[in-house]
Structure 1
Amino acid sequence: MRDCMQYLPYMQKIDSTMFDTVLKLRQSYQSDIYTEKDVLKALSSYYTSVEELKILLSTEAENHIEALAKKAQNITKRYFGNNKGLFTPLYLSNHCNSKCVYCGFQKGNKIARAILDESEIRAEMKEISKSNLQEILLLTGEGREFASVEYIAKACKIAKEYFKVVGVEIYVLNVDEYELLHENGCDYVTVFQETYNPEKYQKIHISGEKTVMPYRFYAQERALMAGMRGVAFGALLGIDDFRKDALATALHAHFLQQKYPHAEISLSVPRLRPIINNSKISPKDVSEKRLLQVLCAYRIFLPFANIVISSRESKEFRDNIINIAATKMSAGVSVAIGEHSSEKKGDEQFEISDNRTVKEVFTMLKKSNFQPVMSDYVD
């Protein structure tokens, strides 16, 4: 097994200490040392410090979930009003050269593999656009030899014909490669670090370029250097100590926001979900109550950030959290290849929980007195 800290020759390095800083803060975090007094004091602060974020993510703070939710709800209302963004993902390819034990796309997993050609990409986007969605997230497996940067750039260019906002969640790139995507219409880059524990990271990322942890960590910064409008962060909660990974995710976003104050920051809270050939995968120790705690802590610490709740979660939980801390949600989701416009060509990455259509989610938001926002961007 290769050292997860060692870059491959083609990988661009950034002169920064942010990676070391986040890892040290995560390593030293003790979530069980805080008291009720600490929690109440943190909740009463107008501005939330790093130390107070630690308190809000602590085991004691879980006992004050209603107070956290109330404060998070007030902050969400203050900065976002009744607006709730909608988007959907489109999987371009499920081919992968990395072996990551939690992922259905992992190399060696016996699934139906497929990649959309240009006509199929257009057909999928045309079908999705009928729902009136104006934001799309393009995804691939970890394999540039299957879905090249040029292929993804072409997909972004096609997407811009149908949607105002285009994001990608793909293997991580160098600055010049992100520039190519941006020139072809890409606005946002999402990268999930999965876990910020180097030992666990190396254990679960067995082969492929995703094994290089710091290269992945600095992906959002390289995307911003390339001119992207915004970047998104997330740890896959349940892989390791969820409190430590939630802390590291928030700090990663916070420190990058300080360095690039113009950037639009977004946070996601994905939990482990069952995959093909491994239905036993589940989010260790991350109950819905604890997931709610993480979401509220994120909102209180980063009041201006978008918080995304995906279809991994149940519709009941999503409908509740959109009223408290989340500002964006997916709708009309398929995590398989080619399922929007025809029969499925390739198998899905994981099982989703909320299968509602765009119309159904839109209707739910309206009934809850929210304003569904298809795009917050004026071209």
Structure 2
Amino acid sequence: MTSFYDTLKTYDWEDVKQNIMDKSKNDAIAAINNPHRTLDDFMALISPAATSLLEDMAVEANRLTLERFGNTIQLYIPLYVSNYCTNFCVYCGFNHDNDIHRKMLTLEEVQAETDVITGWGFKHLLLVSGEAPAVTTVDYYEKVIRAVRDKFSQIALEVQPLNTEDYARLHEAGLSFVCVYQETYNEQQYPKYHPKGRKANYRYRLETPDRVCTAGVQKMGIGALLGLEDWRTDSFFTALHLKYLEKTYWRSKYSISLPRLRPHAGAFMPKDPINDKQMVQLICAYRLLDQQAEISISTRESREFRDHVMHLGATSMSAGSSTEPGGYVVPHKELEQFAINDSRTPQEMVEAIKAQGYEPVWKDWDAWM
């Protein structure tokens, strides 16, 4: 059986980058007007030539989003269960070399954290951890999921890549959504950012969504860490990955995240940062390419930016987030993976969503549906 890796190997990174840069304004206009947009159209929509057409793109993105999702923004919250990590990712505060205090939540601490979270109204929970398989084992994740599953309608996981059997096991325990980000699709440059640890295995990470979908998990989230490599090229390969998954595993739902690098422990600085205007262009381009995919914008972004992009294609947002284990009961800050940008409380976020003419959604489905 072929995988996305086989598809990816038929493309050359530099050729794709040049093809995007070569797109003209007329190409972008044609892409906006094409009701059956292709990946070639997506190249035009994220190209420099399309920057003067952002208003037209925004109007179409808003129309498509309202048609599919209505005036709603789904709310979720991350729960960091551990910051132990055996990887050496240069851009991450959890890097094994960073001198930070390490902590893994006990089941009692998990219950205390979720008591706070449910008190705020959340029904969608994202469990997050550093990648330390000998510490945060599959057994541990299963116990956590089973311990809290009655409190939430959706439990998602953003941890180390697992095998198909482990995903099936966690799915049976109550897992319904997995997020795994490739960080960059540039295989040649990938080792520079992931010099050691299991995450250094580019192909194993790349094929994680195949294993998740094969295991029957209902929803899969993908994305690239914007700023490591050329954001346009990485975004094209994210779109290519999305289309491959939708065709191969058509029963699953999909979500795209657009994380930008944020301040963290360590000295790494992004190579190719993406600015706010370019982020708007990218969000619109994703929506024009795919009307069905959810688009998630986290608290990495500013409050002003998040309020603005509710009208451009975003469908899911976190609120009141902490990026450290135990941060909802007793915040420490020195345990953080990265610094939060939008620090509004969940209630403040609810009011902001309503002020934009949208309805905050705490719960939009149950596993039995």
1:144 aligns with 2:130: no
Q: Which amino acid aligns with 2:233?
A: K
Which segment is superposed worse, 154-163 or 342-351? 342-351
1:77 is matched with which residue? 66
Q: Which stretch of the first structure deviates more once superposed, 42-51 or 369-378?
A: 369-378
SS of alignment partner, residue 255 of structure 2: strand
Q: Could you tell me how far apart the structure 1 residues matched to 2:103 and 2:52 are?
A: 46
1:312 to 300, 309, 312: 300
2:352 aligned with 1:364: yes
CA shift for structure 1 position 22: 2.8
Question: Counterparts of 1:307 and 1:346 in 2: how far apart (Å)?
Answer: 30
**Residue aligning to 1:32:** 21
Alpha carbons 2:178, 2:219 under 8 Å: kept:
yes
Whether 1:223 and 2:212 are equivalent positions in the alignment is yes
1:287 is matched with 275
State the 1:271 CA deviation: 0.7
Conservation of the 8 A alpha-carbon contact between 2:161 and 2:180? yes
Shift of 1:258: 0.7
1:338 aligns with 2:329: no
In structure 2, relative to structure 1, the CA distance for the partners of 1:17 and 1:186 (3 Å cut) is closer
Equivalence for 1:321: 309
The one-letter code matched in structure 2 to 1:358 is P
Q: CA deviation at 1:25?
A: 3.5
Q: Distance in 2 between matches of 1:59 and 1:313?
A: 22
Verify: 1:97 aligned to 2:83, yes or no: no
Any gaps of 5 or more consecutive residues in structure 2? none
Aligned: 1:115 with 2:104: yes
The residue aligned with 2:75 is 86
Distance 1:342 1:33 in 2: 52
C-alpha contact (below 8 Å) 2:227/2:260 kept by paired residues: yes
Query: 1:23 touches 1:197 (CA, 8 Å); kept in 2?
Result: no
Partner Cα distance (1:181, 1:360) in 2: 33
User: Identity rate of aligned residues, in percent?
Assistant: 35
Other-structure match for 1:210: 199
Task: Quote the offset at 1:24 in angstroms.
Answer: 3.6
Distance 2:202 2:156 in 1: 22
Give the Cα–Cα distance (whole angstroms) in 1 for the partners of residues 182 and 282 of structure 2.
Answer: 16
Question: What is the match of residue 6 of structure 2?
Answer: 20
Give the structure 2 partner of residue 257 of structure 1.
246
Which segments of 5 or more consecutive residues in structure 1 lack a partner in the other structure? 1-14
Q: How far is the alpha carbon of 1:26 from its aligned partner? A: 5.6
* Corresponding position of 1:163: 152
Provide the secondary structure at the position in 1 that maps to 2:195. strand
The counterpart of 2:263, out of the listed 262, 274, 289, is 274
> How far apart, CA to CA, are the structure 1 residues paired with 2:186 and 2:270?
19
Residue 302 of structure 1: aligned partner: 290
Q: How many residues align?
A: 364
- On the 8 A contact 1:26/1:248 being kept in 2, the answer is no
RMSD of aligned alpha carbons: 1.4
Question: CA shift at 1:246, angstroms?
Answer: 0.3
What is residue 192 of structure 1 aligned with on the other side? 181
SS of equivalent residue, structure 1 residue 152: helix
**Deviations 1:127-155 (Å, cap 9, x if unpaired)?**
11001110000011011111001101111
Deviation at 1:266, TM superposition (A): 0.2
**Equivalence for 1:11:** none
Match of 2:171 in 1: 182
What is the deviation of 1:343? 4.1
Q: Does 1:64 align with 2:77?
A: no
SS of the equivalent of 1:189 reads: strand
Instruction: Calculate the TM-score normalised by the size of structure 1.
Output: 0.93
Partner of 1:127: 116
Looking at structure 2, the residues matched to 284 and 168 of structure 1 have their Cα atoms a distance apart, in angstroms, of 28
- Give the CA deviation at 1:285: 3.5
Give me the whole-angstrom Cα distance separating, in 2, the residues matched to 1:351 and 1:343.
Answer: 13
